[in-house]
Amino acid sequence: MCGIVGYVGSKRVVPVIFEGLKRLEYRGYDSAGIVYLENEALVKFRCEGKLINLENHVGEAYLSSSCVGIGHTRWATHGAPTTDNAHPHSDCSGKLAIVHNGIIENYHSLREELRERGHKFTSETDTEVLAHLIEEYLEDDLVKAVRLALDRVEGSYALGVIWTEEPHTLIAARNHSPLVLGVHDEAGSFMASDIPALLPYTNRVVFLEDGELAVLTEKGHTLFSIATGEKKERGEVVIDWSASMAEKAGFRHFMLKEIFEQPQAIANTISGRVNLETGEVTLPEIGLDDQALGKIKRIFLVACGTSWHAALVAKYWIEKWARIPVEVDIASEYRYRTLIVDESVLTVAISQSGETADTLAGIRLAGKLGSRVVTICNVVGSTMTREADGTIYTHAGPEIGVASTKAFTAQLAALFLLALFLAEKKGTIDLEKRQELAKALVGIGPVVEKELPLIQEQIGTLIDSFYDCRDFLFIGRGMNFPIALEGALKLKEISYIHAEGYAAGELKHGPIALIDKEMPILAIVPRDGVYSKVISNVEEIKARQGRLVLLGSRGDTQLRTLTDDVIYLPEIHEEMNPILYTIPAQLLAYEIAARRGCDVDQPRNLAKSVTVE
Ligand code: M6R
């Protein structure tokens, strides 16, 4: 959480920092701040709330001719989201400033020690400790002081530091929090928590590793080990995202744009990986040859939030087609149970960002236990992709809305590819079935493309009746149970309506007590293998006067006898229903939240990339 940006070069720094922070605001928006060097002094602005407050606050300083500075957008951990706690933080002299993403775990003892040595603190944050600790070691060499300070620190950090006495230098350092450098031959050097912040200026990036520090100047950057001071070399990576991909392109919200980008995201994820003639899937990037595959007896899928829902769907696919037992773990729980994991287990971590702290900790543990680790990830060069043995990239493009949409359906496409790949290698499906399933996968993008406007129109007719409800239940069975969970998560996170997802058959074991004539229940009822079972569950709800919304197959007239509120979708290959039925759930959440006037792209208390445990 938190986004940091830094720049040193030939451009005016304030617009560069704002442009970067706007693209990182998804990481936190409790407060924001900027500091730059002007006339040998630091000029600092900080504000509570969103970046727009800061933009209004800086006024004419926006036009400062300064070319060196750092900025921050905060998701509060230590200390309330006040101006005093907003970054950048300074040392006692006011000559040094720092922005930080992460948590300094031993900040309390360091703070006491520094207080005793006369340092004066003005915030409740862990970050301010770093500013004073660097000051403590600072004589005439900023790099040395930062290294000595970081040597004392426990926890995670991505940080940027500037100092009036070295006005042409910006220091960047990382440990367990993401940080990427931007390279430009004429404009200078950039640093940011995530790639979209750099895209208006460059697509040439260098990923910092844990324990590394970079010295940035107008002429370029030099990497060092924090522990030894030894110089390091790292090649650039050219990113194939453009700045416009991270803009709204006329849509009211990023979330809506990203919902409509799903056909492309799915197509890009499948592209070049599946052969329709033979039904074969090629995934050389995961490095699973026949010998490695032969060893795999079980699969663990580890993820958080929406990515965990993708994992739940994948369990059905992998077990059904590849006949390999699958366990699905919420990453934040995974480490705290007795794990029976060894080299016979393949661990697959699913993450849009590739930076989620819990998932990252999970794959580190799995690796230590001897498991091979593969990630399914959307962000090139993210920490998980660098630590895993192999990565299946989803090519969904940058996802900016805090609520994950296109990343989810792209994950589903990637997981289906994985299931087919494993099935083929294990010889558990024949040619005909392979062809059938490959065709179904390749066909789902165009179906979503065609249906999106129709679904949006149908959802529009429901909003007046449901936008002001207090609670909402979502039910589904089999592969669509995780989609009920996902629908409920989408609704609660962006509209703040209390929503829960249940396996339809589980209702009668307790949740049915919630049903009365006020309670809306969305049921996913495609004509699939469990259709009649879900219909029975729906009848049970109707008998108790619940307010039903049904998502079902076009032409299914029975649904209209149960409620007027039916969203019809085409009948497609059953295996692809989780992808198709996600779309109305996303649009329902979106339209309700927009109607309630909620901040759809930046819901309260949330951050896109959860880099703290
Ligand atoms: O980047 P990741 O996929 O690892 O993120 C996992 C969750 O934090 C994320 O899916 C979260 O639940 C979203 N807000 C859901 O919309």
Which pTM value belongs to this model? 0.87
Q: Distance between CA 144 and CA 86 in Å, rounded?
A: 26
Cα angle 149, 152, 155 (rounded to 5 degrees) comes to 105
Contact in structure between 535 and 541 (CB atoms under 8 Å): no
Q: Looking at residue 454, what is its pLDDT? A: 97
Question: For residue 380, is pLDDT > 80?
Answer: yes
Ligand 1 pocket member 383 (CB < 6 A): no
Ligand 1 pocket member 602 (CB < 6 A): no
Q: Positive or negative CA dihedral for 544, 533, 410, 458?
A: negative
Residues in the chain: 613
State in Å: Cα 94 to ligand 1 middle.
Answer: 38
Q: Distance between CA 336 and CA 96 in Å, rounded?
A: 40
State in Å: Cα 81 to ligand 1 middle.
Answer: 22
3-state secondary structure of 425: helix
pLDDT 10s digits, 582-604: 999 999 999 999 999 999 998 99
Q: Looking at residue 303, what is its pLDDT? A: 98
Tokens of 85: 């706690």
pLDDT 10s digits, 520-577: 999 999 999 999 999 999 999 999 999 999 999 999 999 999 999 999 999 999 999 9
Q: Looking at residue 332, what is its pLDDT? A: 95
Contact in structure between 293 and 424 (CB atoms under 8 Å): no
Question: For residue 404, is pLDDT > 90?
Answer: yes
Question: For residue 607, is pLDDT > 90?
Answer: no
Contact in structure between 6 and 173 (CB atoms under 8 Å): no
Ligand 1 pocket member 384 (CB < 6 A): no
Q: Distance between CA 547 and CA 562 in Å, rounded?
A: 10
Pairing, β 212-217 against β 220-225:
antiparallel
State in Å: Cα 489 to ligand 1 middle.
Answer: 10
Query: Which of the following is catalytic: 257, 406, 425, 608?
Result: 608
pLDDT 10s digits, 216-270: 999 999 999 999 999 999 999 999 888 888 888 899 999 999 999 999 999 999 9
Query: Nearest-CA neighbor of 23 among 159, 187, 177, 195?
Result: 195
Ligand 1 pocket member 175 (CB < 6 A): no
Contact in structure between 236 and 204 (CB atoms under 8 Å): yes
Annotate 35-58 with b (16+ C-beta within 10 A) or e (fewer): bbbbeeebbbbbbbebbeebbeeb
Greater confidence, 226 or 381?
A: 226
Ligand 1 pocket member 359 (CB < 6 A): yes
Question: For residue 81, is pLDDT > 90?
Answer: no
Pairing, β 566-569 against β 547-553:
parallel
pLDDT 10s digits, 428-471: 999 999 999 999 999 999 999 999 999 999 999 999 999 999 99
Domains, in order of start, for the chain: 3-246 (3.60.20.10), 254-448 (3.40.50.10490), 454-595 (3.40.50.10490)
Ligand 1 atom 8: residue of nearest CA: 305
Q: Confirm whether 608 is a catalytic residue.
A: yes
DSSP result, 554-602: TT-THHHHH-S-EEEE----GGGHHHHHHHHHHHHHHHHHHHTT--SSS
Query: Nearest-CA neighbor of 480 among 458, 463, 503?
Result: 503
Annotate 415-428 with b (16+ C-beta within 10 A) or e (fewer): bbbbbbbbbbbeee
